[in-house]
Structure 1
Amino acid sequence: MSRKLDDALERLASAASFDALEGAVTSLRDTFEVEHVVYHAVRSTGERWGAVTYDPGWVQTYIDENFQAIDPVVLNCFRRFTPADWKTLDWSPRAARTLLAEGIAHGIGNQGLSLPIRGPNGQFAVFTLNDRARDDEWAAFAREAFDDLLLVAHYVNERALALDGTQNAPHQMLSPRETDALTLLAAGRSRAQAAEHLRISENTLRVYIESARFKLGALNTVHAVANAMSRGLICV
């Protein structure tokens, strides 16, 4: 996974157009070995844009039926900052059950994990992985891939912002490694766990954290994480 993930991140970083970004998002499907990967963004202007691997017929149905207005995934991610496993959401309303049934019929799978992303100037996005799997298989996958998903979601959104021309100056302040370090800490990982995930020493991690703290004008690590989240520099 490490090598495949590195290749995927390189492709994301080199995407020079929205078509290239969509191709990079599609390649993540193979990286994580799932059926679908989706990036859906709402720009500060209200315009929507997405890079999806869903069947085009399902995408058109979703748009025509205005399912986003009643989609438990979108509503949950808009209201919260934490990732949403679809199994934990409220699908009891009739409209939500209809949405889910039609989606499964179009091949989106019975499992989903969605990460809300908030960027600068009111930008909002959702990064989702879908698959057909047993509950225990999906739970194991989510635990193993969670840290990688946090980082990938950030990189996809960051590249989309850059291509959209809405990436503002504060977004340029943190280096990729500083961003990675704060993202993992914000997700509740210890310094040892974050260093292990990034394949660096804890001393090197400390350098990145202190550099980020200085750039953000933060008093401590917790303050740095909070500042980074409020500025849309990291997503959790």
Structure 2
Amino acid sequence: MQENEHSPTYPKAFSAMKNASTVATALDEFQLHYPVDFVTFHLARTIVDSVDAPFVRTTYPDSWVSRYLLNDYINVDPIIREGFSRQLPFDWREIDIPANAHQFMMEAELHGVGNNGVSIPIVDKSRRSLLSINSQRSDEEWTPIERQFLPEWLELGFLLHRKAVFELHGENDPVPSLGTREIECLHWASRGKDSKDIGKILGLSEHTARGYLKSARYKLGCPTLSAAIAHAVHLNLITPHVSNPN
């Protein structure tokens, strides 16, 4: 398949998923249209080192979902660990399974979860989501399927991400859409730089740097720059500054 060339399945799947009333229904449509066994979608509220109160929808059997939640397997699931730290799609065969996940993997297999799959990280603003596609097929069967459909699965992942954000927040998305320059200026302001310093660092005039800080403050709905910095840190739009004790 050439770049940007879709299979005949894609327009049907896209239309069905777009028109689905919920993310759960969209996942059912995904599974219906492609030769896969299960599909799972996680949306974490912010980009952090650990999964932050994720929104989760899946087509896995209820018995496995219950077992997963009962045993708090999200903390040992190697796919989740990798998925929320990576930037690019990855085949599950690339993952090293740690010793503490062996029991988890055996139980997953007993509940019908296949050994093959691919996960697609999606990053938007200060949020991260993960689309995971699972298959019970052999390596020889799964490899060409993944190779054929992965580019369009990536596009469908972004569709699911937008649908999940809307399902959670409607039109009132709490994470503002800040531009790159606004985030950069907030980053340097959080490190004690004033508009003149920021302008020199970023190759901007002092006036322009001040304008970016002002627009960022307005978008964040904060009365002061310090409040805007604190709110941006809370949303993980910028990272907190930690002083070097030395």
Report the TM-score range of the alignment, normalised by the length of the smaller protein.
Answer: 0.5 to 0.7
1:138 is displaced (CA, Å) by: 1.2
Q: 1:25–1:167: structure 2 CA closer, same or farther, 3 Å change rule?
A: farther
Residues 1:97 and 2:99 aligned together: no
RMSD: 2.3
1:120 is displaced (CA, Å) by: 2.1
Give the count of matched residue pairs.
167
1:127-159 deviation per Cα after TM superposition (whole angstroms, max 9, x unaligned): 011111111221111111111111111111111
Report the AA paired with residue 110 of structure 2: A
CA contact (8 A) 1:161 1:167 kept: no
Q: Secondary structure at the match of 1:79?
A: coil
1:154-203 deviation per Cα after TM superposition (whole angstroms, max 9, x unaligned): 111111112222276649xxxxxxxxxxxxxxxxxxxxxxxxxxxxxxxx
- Partner residue of 1:146? 150
1:8 is displaced (CA, Å) by: 2.2
Identical amino acids, percent of aligned pairs: 23
1:159 pairs, out of 145, 160, 163, with 163
1:29-74 deviation per Cα after TM superposition (whole angstroms, max 9, x unaligned): 1211211111122224933222211011111111121111111111
Q: What pairs up with 1:134-213 in 2 under 5 angstroms?
A: 134-165=138-169, 166=173, 170=177
CA distance in 2, matches of 1:159, 1:2: 23
Gaps of 5+ in 1: 172-230, 232-236
Report the AA paired with residue 59 of structure 2: T
CA contact (8 A) 1:108 1:130 kept: yes
Residues 1:118 and 2:120 aligned together: no
Report the AA paired with residue 152 of structure 1: L
TM-score for both structures, normalised by structure 1:
0.64
Report the AA paired with residue 73 of structure 1: I
Q: 1:138–1:114: structure 2 CA closer, same or farther, 3 Å change rule?
A: same
- Partner residue of 2:88? 82
Residues 1:108 and 2:113 aligned together: yes
1:92 is displaced (CA, Å) by: 4.0
1:3 is displaced (CA, Å) by: 4.3
CA contact (8 A) 2:40 2:57 kept: yes
CA contact (8 A) 1:73 1:84 kept: no
CA contact (8 A) 2:17 2:30 kept: no
2:132 pairs, out of 116, 128, 133, with 128
The structure with more helix, counted as a fraction of residues = 1
CA distance in 1, matches of 2:97, 2:139: 17
- Partner residue of 1:12? 17
CA contact (8 A) 1:37 1:129 kept: yes
1:104 is displaced (CA, Å) by: 0.9
TM-score for both structures, normalised by structure 2:
0.62
CA contact (8 A) 2:114 2:135 kept: yes
Q: Which contiguous aligned blocks of 4+ residues in structure 1 show a shift greater than 3 angstroms?
A: 1-4, 167-171
1:52 pairs, out of 58, 81, 86, with 58
CA distance in 2, matches of 1:119, 1:106: 33
Gaps of 5+ in 2: 1-5, 179-236, 238-246
CA distance in 1, matches of 2:15, 2:165: 17
Q: Secondary structure at the match of 1:51?
A: strand
Report the AA paired with residue 16 of structure 2: R
